[in-house]
Amino acid sequence: MSITIDEFRQFFAKRMENKEENHFNLLGFTNLQLDYGTAKMEMPYNELLIGNPDTGIVADGAMMALLDTCCALASATVKENISFSPTLDLRVDHMGLPEANLPLICEAEVYRHTDTVIFTRCSVHQGDTERPVARALVNFTPIDKPIIDTSPDNVKRVVEHGGQA
């Protein structure tokens, strides 16, 4: 039995809310939008993530964490039972320098999926969807044992009582 997309959205929102020290809370993703096969989220500007001290621009590594997470969320929704799959590979093209001080917005979609691979793509922009600063392809491999417990019982527990996902 699978959770619904609404429950999954609440589950991840709760996960982003908790104060636990982890990579999600460091990056502070906001404005999550999630539907079957698509995900959109933002990463606010954060001085801790600067990759070039002369320009103040955030490191490409932080952007890769954003697009990996966003594509992972989209990939989770196309499975019979909504659940995360591990990343197989990730390829990014940087078409321009982002502006410092502005959030990075990632929009991801699943464009094909089979029993063995979920193919996703995304673009990262700063408000103008016609001029993305980066595009990426991220592939996931579904496995039998999900890497994060998204069973109805656990999702209900996390959504109602918070705590560790």
Partner 1 sequence: MSEIKPQTQFDLLYQQSREQNNAQILVSALPYAQQLGMVVERVEGDWQFKLPPVKTNIGNPSLPAIHGGAIAGFMSMSAIIYLLMSYDQKCTTQPPKVPKVVDFSVDYVRACRYVDTFATCEVVRQGRKMANVGVRVWQQNSSNVTATARAHYLLS
Are 84 and 147 a contacting pair, CB within 8 Å?
yes
Asked whether 57 and 97 are in contact (CB, 8 A), the reply is: yes
Minimum CB separation of residue 69 from partner 1 in Å reads 7
Q: Is residue 10 within a helix (H) or strand (E), and if so which, with residue range?
A: helix 5-17
Nearer of residues 34 and 58 to partner 1, judged by Cβ: 58
Return the exposure string of 95-119: e unless at least 16 CB atoms fall within 10 Å of the residue's CB, then b.
eeebeeeebbbbbbbbeebeeeebb
Nearer residue to partner 1 within complex by CB, 67 or 155: 67
What whole-number distance in Å separates Cα of residue 95 and Cα of residue 99?
13
- Minimum gap (Å) between residue 72 Cβ and partner 1: 8
**Residue type at position 125:** H
Q: How far is the CB of 61 from partner 1 (least distance, A)?
A: 2
Interaction between residue 13 and partner 1 (CB under 8 A): no
Side chain identity, residue 165: A
Is 17 or 93 the residue whose CB approaches partner 1 more closely? 93
Which of 90, 151, 156, 157 touches partner 1 (CB under 8 A)?
Answer: 90
Binding segment (CB under 8 A) for partner 1, from list 33-41, 61-69, 106-114, 122-130: 61-69
Which parts of 21-107 fold into alpha helices (H)? 23-27, 60-76
Which residue, 20 or 36, is less far from partner 1 as judged by CB? Answer: 20
- Which residues contribute to the site for partner 1 (CB under 8 A)? 20-27, 47-54, 58-62, 64-69, 86-94, 97, 147-149, 164-165
